[in-house]
Amino acid sequence: MVDGVFVKSSDLKQLDEPKKLVIPQLVAGWIEKSTDFFTKAEKIAYLIKSKDGDSYYFCDWFVRDGILTQEQGEELLAWAKRQSYETLLSLYNGYEVEKEPLYEVIIGDLYLIKKFNNRNDFYFDTSCSLCAWEKSAYQLTEAEIKAIDERYWAFAVPVEEVVEG
Sheet holding 103-107, edge to edge: 122-126, 110-114, 103-107, 156-158
**Structural domain contains residue 6:** no
34 lies in the same domain as 93: yes
97, 132, 149: which is the final residue of a domain?
97
- Total-model pTM: 0.61
Residue 129's domain comprises 103-158
33 lies in the same domain as 60: yes
Q: Which residues of the chain fall short of a pLDDT of 70?
A: 1-7, 9-18, 117-118, 162-165
93 lies in the same domain as 108: no
In b/e form, how buried is each residue of 72-82, taking b as 16+ CB within 10 angstroms? Answer: bbebbbebbee
Q: Give per-residue pLDDT as tens, 44-89.
A: 999 999 988 888 888 888 888 888 888 888 999 999 999 999 999 9
